[in-house]
Amino acid sequence: MSDNKFPMVDLLSKPEHTLKTIYVACRTCYSALYPINIWEEATDDEKMLNLVKKVLKSGHHSTVEHCQFVFSVSGVSRACTHQLVRHRHMSFSQKSQRYVTEKGDFEYTTPKTIEKSNLNEDYKDMMKKIAEFYGKMIENGIPAEDARAVLPNATTSSLIVSLNLRELMHLAQLRLCTNAQLEIRTLVRKMCDLVIKEEPWLKDYLVPKCEIKGYCDEIRGCGRKPQKQ
Amino acid sequence: MSDNKFPMVDLLSKPEHTLKTIYVACRTCYSALYPINIWEEATDDEKMLNLVKKVLKSGHHSTVEHCQFVFSVSGVSRACTHQLVRHRHMSFSQKSQRYVTEKGDFEYTTPKTIEKSNLNEDYKDMMKKIAEFYGKMIENGIPAEDARAVLPNATTSSLIVSLNLRELMHLAQLRLCTNAQLEIRTLVRKMCDLVIKEEPWLKDYLVPKCEIKGYCDEIRGCGRKPQKQ
Amino acid sequence: MSDNKFPMVDLLSKPEHTLKTIYVACRTCYSALYPINIWEEATDDEKMLNLVKKVLKSGHHSTVEHCQFVFSVSGVSRACTHQLVRHRHMSFSQKSQRYVTEKGDFEYTTPKTIEKSNLNEDYKDMMKKIAEFYGKMIENGIPAEDARAVLPNATTSSLIVSLNLRELMHLAQLRLCTNAQLEIRTLVRKMCDLVIKEEPWLKDYLVPKCEIKGYCDEIRGCGRKPQKQ
Amino acid sequence: MSDNKFPMVDLLSKPEHTLKTIYVACRTCYSALYPINIWEEATDDEKMLNLVKKVLKSGHHSTVEHCQFVFSVSGVSRACTHQLVRHRHMSFSQKSQRYVTEKGDFEYTTPKTIEKSNLNEDYKDMMKKIAEFYGKMIENGIPAEDARAVLPNATTSSLIVSLNLRELMHLAQLRLCTNAQLEIRTLVRKMCDLVIKEEPWLKDYLVPKCEIKGYCDEIRGCGRKPQKQ
């Protein structure tokens, strides 16, 4: 099982009119017009983009909360999903290890450092032994919710993930940082790329935090931006 | 200005596939399949509805968070928006009284009890006097953000409001209750009706809390359901 | 009624051990020790402060969420509370205009620009007229929840407000900015000063956003820090 | 390692005046008095308790958000913490498997069904083998953040957990339910017991959801309360 295709990410749902929704939200704050009238007359993409960029630059990010994106994620380790579900402004529906019993050899991820090492075969063997013992426990009547005690962090999971654009920007800032673990960085990179494919202008906003701040505030930086004094 | 048309509500955006999204979220929790495969094979509306109803009945409401609705609201009093923005799982972009100066006679709501009373003309006069004094302050260089000190709770506002289906259900439970103030009850009723028009099966879920609980937990009930012992 | 004493703020409750709690939260993330053992051995304030400052500098602010502060606020305008309750990570219990009827001349704030202008007496007269009409409506049987339609933004309110230290830092960053309206800036200044009196080391963290970022991202800045390029 | 002492829970911090804080929050909503004056005159515990119970019965739970509790938790499996951190109104600082390397035999939990089965020795052997392979990977230069791929769900973790009383009531309702997994049920039972020891009147509010609703809404109930029709 190659890490290259893992994690697998699909964009299931996006707003009908991302830019227009944000534009109308911005205008509503500063206009005497009814928002429905602003909505009906909003047709000029360039004009809309100019206003939205100006508002975002000034840090008023609540206007992008009105756009929600829904993703299907699979082939992602439980180590990674434990990190992902810490984001409290997101919504998750995740495959349950209590109610879904793994059959035969369970699916798992292999970190690149292990894959390239001379321990890769031992790693596969270990996973096979774990799968065997998990299967033996199930056969002996141990409930799946308890037998899973032996399943490793590398066991893959599946989720439906949804979040609004403000949270996606925040997620990108934290998890595209070089200090984030490779798997979640890859996952968030794929999520952002799917959104940017739909809305290319978002390319400048779905970036690691150093690109927004102009400096790195991590204790040890990667050199992409200078450290904060 | 008649209360009948106030507040004005339009549905600007809804999920592309509401039922299917919820169904796939439900299935993902209990299935060994990848969610993208469940998504691609989900075509039978009746089967989807049956599962979703069963999951909702058992109280697992996180699965409906993946569906977001965006509304345009106007002609709603600031008294009402002060109540509305207390809902912390919703997103708002509201017309600013700091940056938008009211021109001439500002728009305002008239509660039905006042409209039907013999004080209705006095109410109109009072509003006119307030508008005049507000205008006088603006003319004399008082900034709009300070002159607004005199504007009444009845002054109307406009907002873009977005929320997911879980929060809409919660909003309905609290604000369709007979004990909620008439204006916000009317507003939420209109929001729910617009959604039910798109997704008729949601009619049973966008109801006051007593319909869900089977009893009334308010100190003084309206008689729709028996009081909780 | 002078603005000088308004808004009135008291600190009702604070953590028993603010610094120690944050220190133990930080250590827990990076230590093999049980947190209860770290807690029991944490006595050196200087050592604790050094670690906490290092962690905060690197942007890991979740560790300060474990400290909650509770404030009593009164003499604050409803215009200001409408801004305040937009902060969705805070908890509020606010005096209800539906259930509490104003008696005689209601309490109100006077923005400084009005107080210093030659319209100050007219403003007082206007407030008196509004109070009279409000009283007349109440006498005529209009419910308080509807009669309040005429009450102005300047009407004062009371609230219990609670928030954790992470949100207080965020609140300070937004609302101590010179572009925030004077009343909420004064309110948040008083809240921060009460906390700093208890925990002087927090002085460097309860500051406007420009002090953290090193630049101003507002469209029009006050000159305290250079504009972002 | 016996499950009996696991998970280990300590209450690190609680409000100075739990009942009084809630009482003042309740009174503030319905009183013309300043909250600081209500606070200073609140001395009669029985009177306070009566009002608080009445308000809670009517479902107005926002008033208990002003009380925060901080816990130290250890000896809890990563399977359990993955469930716990799904609660988005709580704050967590958790031991990192990226930055903390396990030494020798890592600490793990043993589900009671395994402990009592004839596979208990095999389970211990499996854990030993995993520990050996983890150690071998560390020795061979695999970073801890990747070597942890092999660590099982049973591996224990430590956290600082904080939440307000409203969320603790919600947590109790969901996780004291017989359908919750035994480990998180035990953890939440211990958290609630520590709070009830300080505030005995909370005994009636820190209960599974069926006790509040009067019926069971789970698909398969335990018989404690009748199923919802």
Query: Which pLDDT does position C2 carry in this prediction?
Result: 40
Confidence of residue A219 (pLDDT cuts 50, 70, 90): confident
Report pLDDT digits (tens) over A88-121: 999 999 999 999 999 888 999 999 999 999 999 9
**Span B128-134, mean pLDDT?**
98
D82 with A82: CB under 8 angstroms? yes
Give ipTM to 2 decimals.
Answer: 0.95
Q: Which one of B175, B185, B189, B220 is the catalytic residue?
A: B175
Q: Which residue of D has its CA nearest to B174?
A: D59
D33 to chain A, minimum CA–CA distance in Å? Answer: 35
User: Which residue among D118, D154, D181 sits closest to A98, beta carbon to beta carbon?
Assistant: D181
Which chains contact A through at least 3 pairs of Cβ atoms less than 8 Å apart? B, C, D
Give the residue from D29, D67, D168 with the most C CB atoms within 10 Å of its CB, the best one to mutate.
Answer: D29
Instruction: Write down the pLDDT at residue A5.
Output: 85
What pLDDT was estimated at residue D103?
87
SS3 of A156-196: EEEEEEEEEHHHHHHHHHHHCCCCCCHHHHHHHHHHHHHHH
Instruction: Just list the catalytic residues of C.
Output: 175
| Buried b or exposed e, range B111-127, using 16+ CB within 10 angstroms | bebbeebebeebbeebb
What six digits make up the tokens of B158? Answer: 């406009």
Per-residue pLDDT for B58 more than 50?
yes
Q: Give Cβ neighbours of residue D105 (< 8 Å, ≥ 6 apart).
A: D127, D128, D131
Check pLDDT > 50 for residue D221. Answer: yes
* Sequence letter at residue D207: V
Taking residues C114-128, what's their average pLDDT? 98
Q: Which of B24, B34, B158 sits opposite A35 (nearest CB)?
A: B158
Distance CA D80, CA D36 (A): 42
User: Which of C26, C29, C106 to mutate to test binding with chain D, by most D CBs within 10 Å of its CB?
Assistant: C29
Closest chain C residue to D27, measured at CA: C95
Query: Are residues C160 and D30, on separate chains, in Cβ contact within 8 Å?
Result: no
Determine contact, residues B138/B101, Cβ cutoff 8 Å.
yes
What is the mean pLDDT of the segment spanning C208-215? 93
pLDDT tens by residue, A152-163: 999 999 999 999
Q: What is the pLDDT of residue C1?
A: 38
- Give the pLDDT band (50/70/90) at residue A128: very high
Q: Average pLDDT in the C101-111 region?
A: 94
Region of residue D226 (phi > 0: left; psi between -120 and 50: alpha; otherwise: beta):
beta
H-type alpha helices, chain C: 18-30, 35-41, 45-57, 78-84, 112-115, 120-139, 144-147, 165-175, 182-198, 209-213
On chain D, the residues whose CB falls within 8 A of the CB of B54 are 219
* Cross-chain Cβ contact C151/B148 below 8 Å: no
Comparing B114-123, C73-82, D213-222, which segment has the lowest mean pLDDT? D213-222
The count of CB pairs under 8 A between chains A and C is: 25
C-alpha atoms less than 13 angstroms from C-alpha of B107 in its C-beta half-sphere: 18
Share of chain A above pLDDT 70, in %: 98
Long-range contacts of B54-57 (CB under 8 A, 24+ apart): B54/D219, B55/B26, B56/B205, B57/D217, B57/D219, B57/D228
- Read off the DSSP letter of residue D155: B
Cross-chain CB nearest to A181 (options D127, D145, D147): D145
pLDDT surpasses 60 at D76: yes
Q: What is the pLDDT of residue D30?
A: 96
Return the residue of A nearest to D152 by Cα. Answer: A152
**Cβ B187 vs Cβ B140: under 8 Å:** no
Is the confidence at residue B99, as pLDDT, over 50? yes
Whole-angstrom CA distances from C51 to C48, C63, D13 are: 5, 12, 21
Residue D52 pLDDT > 70, yes or no? yes
Across the interface, do C153 and B154 touch by the CB < 8 Å criterion?
no
Q: Which of A162, B161, C15 is nearest to D69 (CA)?
A: C15
pLDDT of C222:
95
Those chains having 3 or more beta-carbon pairs within 8 angstroms of chain C are A, B, D
Over range B130-135, report the average pLDDT. 98
Are the Cβ atoms of C30 and D100 closer than 8 angstroms? Answer: yes
Q: Kindly state the average pLDDT of the residues B15-23.
A: 97
Q: Residue B171 in 3-state DSSP?
A: helix
Q: Which two tokens stand for residue C23?
A: 């220190």
Contacting residues of D for C66, CB less than 8 Å apart: 13, 70, 91, 93, 160, 162
Residue D122 has pLDDT above 70, yes or no: yes
Q: Which of D28, D90, D161 to mutate to test the interface with C (most CBs of C within 10 A)?
A: D28
**Average pLDDT in the A133-162 region?**
98
Query: How sure is the predictor about A192, in pLDDT bands with cuts at 50, 70 and 90?
Result: very high
Predicted local distance difference test score (pLDDT) of residue B219: 87
Q: For D41-69, what is the mean pLDDT?
A: 95
Q: Is A9 helix (H, G, I), strand (E, B) or coil?
A: strand
End-to-end Cα separation, chain D, in angstroms:
44
Question: What pLDDT is attached to residue C80?
Answer: 98
What local confidence, expressed as pLDDT, does residue D4 receive? 64
A50 pLDDT tier (thresholds 50, 70, 90): very high
Query: E strands along D41-151, which residues?
Result: 68-77, 91-94
Judged by CB atoms closer than 8 Å, whether chains meet at A149 and D109 is answered as: yes
Contact at 8 Å (CB) between A187 and A75? no
- Residues of D assigned a catalytic role: 175
Picking from C179, C225, A41, the residue whose alpha carbon sits closest to that of residue B96 is: C179
Banded model confidence at residue C162, pLDDT cuts 50, 70, 90: very high
The pLDDT of residue D5 is above 90: no
Chain B CB contacts of A56 below 8 Å = none
Assess whether pLDDT exceeds 70 at residue A4.
no
Determine the pLDDT at residue D144. 97
pLDDT band at D2 (very low <50, low <70, confident <90, very high): very low
Q: Token digits for C66?
A: 């474990």
| B3 has a pLDDT exceeding 60 | no
Cα distance between residue D209 and residue D177, in whole Å: 7
The whole-number pLDDT of residue A1 equals: 38
Cβ of A28 within 8 Å of Cβ of B94? The answer is: yes
For tokens 């670690």, name the residue.
Answer: C51
The pLDDT value recorded for residue D188 is: 98
- How distant is the Cα of B34 from the closest Cα of chain D, in angstroms? 20
Which pLDDT tens digit goes with each residue over C63-94? 999 999 999 999 999 999 999 999 999 999 99
HSE-up of residue D214 (Cα within 13 Å, Cβ side) = 10
The identity of residue A214, as a single letter, is G
φ, ψ (nearest 5 deg) of residue C194? -65, -40
What was the pLDDT predicted at A183? 98
Residue A85 has pLDDT above 80, yes or no: yes
Report pLDDT for A2.
Answer: 40
Q: Which of C14, C24, C70 sits opposite D160 (nearest CB)?
A: C24
Say what percent of chain A tops pLDDT 90: 92
Q: CB-based contacts of B229: which residues, under 8 Å, 6+ apart?
A: none
- Mean of the per-residue pLDDT values of chain D: 96
Helical segments of B118-175, H only: 120-139, 144-147, 165-175
Average pLDDT of chain C to the nearest whole number: 96
Decide if pLDDT at B183 tops 80: yes
User: What are the start-end ranges of the H helices in D176-218?
Assistant: 182-198, 209-213
* A213, A216, A227, best to mutate vs chain C, most C CBs in 10 Å: A213
Closest-CA distance, C123 to chain B, in angstroms, reads 8
